Structure 1
Amino acid sequence: MIEHRGETTLLVARDDLHATLLSLRDDHGFQQLVEIAGCDYPERPERFEVNYHLLSLTLNRRIRVKVSTDEATPLRSITDIWPVADWLEREVWDMYGVMFDGHPDHRRILTDYGFSGHPFRKDFPLTGYTELRWSEEQKRVVYEPVKLQQDFRTFDFESPWEGPAYNLPGDEKAEGDPA
C-alpha cells in the first residue's frame, strides 16, 4: 500500500485482484467502481497496468488498486462484483488490448468493429494507415488510405537550421557586430 498526498494506492498481484476488490466492496465499504483505466509501459515485462478507482460514500474515501499484466495473460473480469465494469473493461480492451477472462461481451466499444490495433498503445502509429468518413453520396461509412500533406512516416525530423550550411534571416547583420 502506498500513501501519497492523501491518496491510497494498493499494488495487487494479478491472481489476487478479484478477491481484493470483493473484499474492498464487502468488508471495507467501497460501494462504487468509478473508473478502470489502462496504462502502457512498453519497457516493462508486464507492459500494461490497469487501475481500478473505487469510492466509498460512507467513508468519504477513494482508493486506487493497480495490477500489472502482459498481452498474453488476461485479467479476471469483475463484472460479477460491479456490473458497470462491463463497459469499462471493454474500453480498456479496445484501447490497450488487455483481455478480461469471463467478460460477458468482449466487443469493441469506442472504435469500429473492423478497426485493427489498439490506439492507446505507445507503439500504435500516430497517423494510422486508413481513415473512415461518412460519404454523403454513398450514404455509408467509407474507408480510405490516409492522405497527408507531408509524409510524416518518412520525415527525417532533422532541424533545417542546425549546422553551418543554414543561416537564419538576419544572421548576416550579427556577424560583424560582436555586441
Structure 2
Amino acid sequence: MKRALGEAIILTTREAAHALLLALRDQLQFQQVMDICAVDYPERAQRFEVVYNLLSVTRNQRVRVIFSTDEAAEVASVTDIWPVAGWWEREVWDLFGIRFNGLADHRRILSDYGFEGHPLRKDFPLTGYVEVHYDDERRAVVYDKVKLTQEFRNFDFLSPWEGMTLLPGDEKVNRSRS
C-alpha cells in the first residue's frame, strides 16, 4: 500500500481484487464505491488498469484499489458487493471493452447500441467508422462515414472570453478608499 495526496492506494491482482474489495467493505467499513474507471496503456501486455475509488463514511477515509488486466480476461463484477457498481461496470465495458464476469447487463450505456469499438481505447481510430442518423429527404435511416469537421481549433485571442484580465466588478477592488 502506498499513499498519494493523503489517500491510500492499494495495488492488487485481478484474481485477488474481488476478495480484497469485499474485505474492505466488511472489515474496514468502506461502505461506498464512489467510482469505477479504467486507464489504457496500450504498450503494456496487461494494457488496462481498473480503478475502484472507495469511501468510508464512518471513518472519513478514502482508498483507491488498482489492478491490471488484458483485453481478453474478464474481471469479477462487484455488483454483489455494491449493486450500484453495475452502472460503472457498464461504462467501463462500453468505453474500454473490459468485460465483467457476473454483470447481469452488458448493454452499452453511453454509445449507440450498434456502435462498433470502444472509444476510450488509445488505439481507437478517429475516422473510418459510420454514424447513423435519419435523413428527412430520403425518409430512411442513413449510414454515413464519420467526418472530422475540424482538424484543429483556431483560438481567437482577441475574444473577450479568452483574453480577459479583469472580471466585471473587479474594478471596484483597486479603488483607493477615501
Q: Structure 2-normalised TM-score?
A: 0.78
User: Quick one: which amino acid aligns to residue 4 of structure 1?
Assistant: A
Deviation of 1:128 (Å) = 4.6
Evaluate the alpha carbon distance shift between residue 14 and residue 130 of structure 1 in structure 2; reply closer, same or farther with a 3 A threshold.
same
User: Quick one: which amino acid aligns to residue 61 of structure 1?
Assistant: Q
Deviation of 1:129 (Å) = 2.3
Deviation of 1:2 (Å) = 1.1
User: Quick one: which amino acid aligns to residue 11 of structure 2?
Assistant: L
Partner of 1:98: 98
User: Quick one: which amino acid aligns to residue 107 of structure 1?
Assistant: R
Deviation of 1:107 (Å) = 1.3
Tell me if 1:64 matches 2:98.
Answer: no
User: Quick one: which amino acid aligns to residue 102 of structure 1?
Assistant: G
Deviation of 1:7 (Å) = 1.4
Deviation of 1:114 (Å) = 0.7
Partner of 2:80: 80
120-129 vs 37-46, which moves further: 120-129
Q: Partners of 2:55 and 2:72 in 1: how far apart?
A: 30
Q: Percent identity?
A: 58
The answer to whether the 8 A contact 2:37-2:92 is kept is yes
Deviation of 1:132 (Å) = 3.2
Partner of 1:157: none
Q: Partners of 1:60 and 1:138 in 2: how far apart?
A: 59
- Structure 2, gaps ≥5 residues long: 152-178
Tell me if 1:48 matches 2:55.
Answer: no
133-142 vs 62-71, which moves further: 133-142
Evaluate the alpha carbon distance shift between residue 137 and residue 82 of structure 1 in structure 2; reply closer, same or farther with a 3 A threshold.
farther
5 Å-filtered alignment, 1:1-179, equals 1-136=1-136, 142-148=142-148
SS at match of 2:35: strand
Deviation of 1:87 (Å) = 0.9
CA-based RMSD: 2.0
SS at match of 1:91: helix
Larger Rg: 1
Per-residue CA deviations over 1:139-178 (Å, capped at 9, x if unaligned) read: 776431124568x7xxxxxxxxxxxxxxxxxxxxxxxxxx
SS at match of 2:18: helix
The answer to whether the 8 A contact 2:127-2:147 is kept is no
Across the two proteins, how many residue pairs are aligned to each other?
151
Q: Structure 1-normalised TM-score?
A: 0.77
Q: Partners of 2:60 and 2:149 in 1: how far apart?
A: 52
